[in-house]
Chains A and B, each alone.
Chain A
Amino acid sequence: MTGVVLIALMLNALTVLLVLYLVYRADKAIGDFEPYLQDVEKMRGSIAKRGNEILEKTITVAQEMIRNAVYTSQKNIRQSESLQAEMENIMKVGIQQNLSENKQMIQKVTQDILKAYEDQFSSLGKEVESAGLAARQEVLDATKLRIAELAESMSSELAQIGKTADEKISSELTASQEVIKAYRDQKLKELDSKVYQVLSQVAKKTIGRTIDLSDHEELVMQALEKAKKENLL
C-alpha cells in the first residue's frame, strides 16, 4: 500500500515538472514574437499618421478649389453686368441716332410731296375753274327741266292722293258704322239679359210667395213622384 502511494506521488511530481516545463516553453515562444508585434504597432501608427496627413491635404486642396470657383463665378457675374450695361448704352445711342435720321428723312419726303402737290394743284386750278363754269350751266339747265317735270308729276299725284283719301274716309266710315252697330246690338243683348234677369227675379220672388204652404207641399210630392217614375229612387 505504501509502495503504491509513493508511486502515485512520484507520478504527480513528474506531471508538475512537465507542466512547468511547458509553461516555460510557451513564455519563451511569446517572447520571440514581441519584436514583430512592436514593428506592426509602429507600422500601424505610421499608416494612420500618413492617412491623416493625406486627408488634411485633400481638405485644404478642396477648400482652395471652392474658393477659386466662387471667386471666378463672382468675377464672371461682374463682367456680365458690365457687358450688359455697355450693350444697353450702345443700343440706346443707336436707336436715338436711327430715330433722328428717320425723322429727318420723313420731313424731307413730306416737304417734297407737298411741293409736288402744290405744283400740280396750281396747274389744275385753272382747268377746274373753266370746267366748273361749263358744268354750272349744265346743272342749271337740267334743274330747270327737272322742276318742270316735277311740277307736272306733283299735280297728278295730288289728284291721286285726293282720290285715295276719299276712298279711305269712305271705308273708315263704313267700318265705324259697323262697329257702332255691333256695339249697339251687344248693348241691346245685355239690356235684354238684364231685363230677363230682373223679370226672372221678380217672378221668383212674387210667384213663390203667392203659393200657399199646402200647394208647396203638394208640388214637392208631385216632383218626388216624378223622380220615382224616372227611376231616380
Chain B
Amino acid sequence: MVNQEGILTKLTEGIYTQEDLELLLGDVEEANRWVYKGGSVPLSKKISGSVSEGFRKKIESLESEENLPGNRKELAALFRNLLENLEKMVKAKLTLAFAPSDEFLTKLAGWFEAQTGKKIVLDIQIDESIIAGCRLEYSGEYRDYSLGEKLEAVLDQEIKGLV
C-alpha cells in the first residue's frame, strides 16, 4: 500500500520557498511524462538529466524502499495527486530588506511550521526600502513590521511639527 502522505513529505523535504516549490512542480510533471516512456527501466533512471538531481535521488530512494507503485497507471495517478497537493500548499509572503541565507530560510520555515503545525511555503520578496524587519502577508492578512514604516511615521510627525 503506497503511503501518499509519506511520499509528499519526502518530496517536499528542503522545499522552503516559492521558487523551490515551482522547481519541484516542474520535476513532478516531468516525471509524470516519463511514466509511460522508456520501457521497464526504473523511473529514477528514465528521468535522469531531465529533473533536478535532488528530486531524482528522492525518487530512487522511494523505488528502493518500494514505496512507489509498480503499476504505471497507479504511478501516473499518484503524480497527478501529488501535483494537486503541491499546488494547494499554504503560502506566506514575506518581504525582507536583505537576501536571506539558506540557514535563515530553514529557520524561518521551521518557525512557521512550528507555529501553524503545517508546512508553509515562503514567497520571499527583497525590498531595501523597508530598512529592516519585515512585511508579512498570510491567510488574507497583511502587517508591516518594517523599520521603514516606523521611520516614515517619525519623519511625518517631525515635518508636521516644523510646518
State whether these chains interact: yes
A117 interface contact, C-beta 8 A:
no
Return chain A residues, CB-CB under 8 Å to B62: none
Docked CA distance A221–B162 (Å): 35
B73 interface contact, C-beta 8 A:
no
A173 interface contact, C-beta 8 A:
no
Return chain B residues, CB-CB under 8 Å to A215: 132
A204 touches B131 (CB 8 A): yes
- Nearest residue (CB) in B for A217 is B104
Segment 119-163 of B: residues with Cβ below 8 Å from A: 128-134, 136, 138-139, 141, 143, 145-148, 151-152, 155-156, 159, 162-163
Interface size class of B (residues with CB under 8 A): 35 or more
- Nearest residue (CB) in A for B92 is A233
* A233 and B138 contact, Cβ closer than 8 Å, known pairs A216-B97, A227-B143: yes
Among B98, B132, B146: residue with most chain A CB under 10 A: B132
Segment 179-233 of A: residues with Cβ below 8 Å from B: 188-189, 192-193, 195-196, 199-201, 203-205, 207-208, 211, 213, 215-217, 219-224, 226-228, 230, 232-233
Contact of A196 (CB < 8 Å), options: B134, B136, B147, B159: B159
Docked CA distance A208–B97 (Å): 7
* A224 and B155 contact, Cβ closer than 8 Å, known pairs A189-B163, A233-B115: no
Q: Mark A159-192, 1 if CB is under 8 A from B, else 0.
A: 0000000000000000000000000000011001
- Nearest residue (CB) in B for A185 is B163
B139 to chain A, nearest CB (A): 8
Return chain B residues, CB-CB under 8 Å to A207: 131-132, 147, 151
B36 interface contact, C-beta 8 A:
no
Measuring CB to CB, which residues of chain B are less than 8 angstroms from any residue of chain A? 96-98, 100-101, 104, 107-108, 111-112, 115-116, 128-134, 136, 138-139, 141, 143, 145-148, 151-152, 155-156, 159, 162-163
| 13 extra interface residue pairs, beta carbon distance < 8 Å, beyond A199-B155, A204-B129 | A192-B163, A195-B159, A196-B155, A196-B159, A208-B131, A216-B132, A220-B134, A221-B111, A223-B146, A227-B138, A227-B143, A233-B115, A233-B116
Return chain A residues, CB-CB under 8 Å to B98: 213, 216
* A203 and B151 contact, Cβ closer than 8 Å, known pairs A196-B156, A208-B132, A220-B96: yes
Among A196, A201, A224, A226: residue with most chain B CB under 10 A: A224
* A232 and B143 contact, Cβ closer than 8 Å, known pairs A189-B163, A199-B155, A200-B155: yes
Contact of A232 (CB < 8 Å), options: B104, B141, B162: B141
Docked CA distance A188–B130 (Å): 28
Return chain A residues, CB-CB under 8 Å to B104: 217
A interface size (C-beta, 8 A): 31
A41 to chain B, nearest CB (A): 118
B133 touches A220 (CB 8 A): yes
B49 to chain A, nearest CB (A): 37
* A208 and B136 contact, Cβ closer than 8 Å, known pairs A189-B163, A200-B152, A216-B97: no
B53 to chain A, nearest CB (A): 29
Return chain A residues, CB-CB under 8 Å to B152: 200
Contact of B111 (CB < 8 Å), options: A196, A205, A224, A232: A224
Return chain A residues, CB-CB under 8 Å to B129: 201, 204
Docked CA distance A201–B131 (Å): 10
Docked CA distance A171–B8 (Å): 82
A232 to chain B, nearest CB (A): 5
Return chain A residues, CB-CB under 8 Å to B107: 217, 221
The 10 closest A-B pairs by CB, nearest first: A223-B145, A208-B131, A219-B132, A223-B133, A233-B115, A223-B134, A216-B98, A196-B159, A220-B134, A219-B133
